[in-house]
Amino acid sequence: MSAIVATAPWKTRLVTDQDSRWNLNIHYHRLFLNAIPTGATTAIDVGCGDGLLSFDLADRGLRVTGVDPHAPSIERARSDPRATPSTQFVCGDVFETDLPPASFDLVAASAVLHHLDARAGLRRMRQLVRPGGVVVVVGFGRPDGVKDRLLEIAGAASKRLRVMRGQYWEHNAPISWPPPLTTGEMCDLGREELPSALFRRLMSNRFSLVWTAPTTGTGALQPDRSPTR
């Protein structure tokens, strides 16, 4: 199957190798992959869209459940050539879908939190992760400082370069803009709901939160600190 890559607002280009798809959301998949706990076997991709993050996680040996309420995105994910028995896609709301609590070693959420009530979304993710497991969020916030503005410029430059090379892929998922909260507000909220979470500001109005769920037992899963491949 060919992927459509946007090269300019007025034209597109076919790319035959789907693994060559690139945008800034895909660029930050490395944050999720680097946070996979040693010994992890299961992951949930909250707001999975077309399933690209789910496929990357499955390539690392995880059984991945992708959940998204957008039926066309779920159908594209299910029919993608990278779909395997290790990837299961569910069309539904993450708050209403029957998902056992504390059942996932990795809870991943890429570019979805601004579509939800952020506090409720973080609490749901905290509910789904196993003790010793990891929650990773890459989300959007409105810029609220000089650093955000500089990262916004850096992201625009990176995107423009890919567009000029014909390497940029535009996602098909619904868009919700602008984000309701600033990056600073998301930092505060993230640390309230996920105490001691690691917060980083990223390019183009993005941020990341990485949180390891506490455990009092032995043999807890630990984040894999090896370099991104």
Per-domain residue ranges of the chain: 3-213
Q: Which two tokens stand for residue 228?
A: 């991104």
Mean pLDDT score, 37-57: 97
Instruction: Choose among 19, 48, 17, 21: nearest CA to 32.
Output: 48
pLDDT digits (tens, 9 = 90+) for 134-150: 999 999 999 998 988 88
Q: What pLDDT, on the 0 to 100 scale, is given for residue 15? A: 38
Arithmetic mean of pLDDT over the chain: 85
pLDDT tier at 11, thresholds 50, 70, 90: very low
Residue 100 has pLDDT above 90, yes or no: yes
Mean pLDDT score, 24-35: 94
Q: What pLDDT, on the 0 to 100 scale, is given for residue 182? A: 94
User: Measured between alpha carbons, how far is 138 from 227 in angstroms, rounded to an integer?
Assistant: 18
Q: Which two tokens stand for residue 171?
A: 């996602």
User: Measured between alpha carbons, how far is 193 from 20 in angstroms, rounded to an integer?
Assistant: 36
* Residue 106 and residue 35 in contact, taking contact as beta carbons nearer than 8 Å: yes
Using only C-alpha atoms, the chain has a radius of gyration, in whole angstroms, of 17
Q: Are strands 87-91 and 3-8 parallel, antiparallel or unpaired?
A: unpaired
Q: Which residues contact 43 (CB under 8 A, 6 or more apart)?
A: 36, 54, 57, 62, 63, 64, 65, 104, 105, 106, 107, 108
Residue 123 has pLDDT above 80, yes or no: yes
* Residue 139 and residue 114 in contact, taking contact as beta carbons nearer than 8 Å: yes
pLDDT tier at 152, thresholds 50, 70, 90: confident
Q: What pLDDT, on the 0 to 100 scale, is given for residue 14? A: 33
Best mean pLDDT range from 2-6, 146-150, 152-156, 190-194 = 190-194
Instruction: Choose among 179, 174, 170, 68: nearest CA to 117.
Output: 179
Q: What pLDDT, on the 0 to 100 scale, is given for residue 216? A: 66
Residue carrying the six token digits 């619904």 = 174
The better pLDDT of the pair 229, 144 is held by 144
Q: What pLDDT, on the 0 to 100 scale, is given for residue 167? A: 75
User: Measured between alpha carbons, how far is 150 from 154 in angstroms, rounded to an integer?
Assistant: 6
Residue 221 has pLDDT above 70, yes or no: no
Q: Which of 1-15, 22-36, 57-71, 188-202 has the lowest mean pLDDT?
A: 1-15
CATH homologous superfamily for the domain 3-213 = Vaccinia Virus protein VP39 (3.40.50.150)
Chain centre distance of CA 216: 28
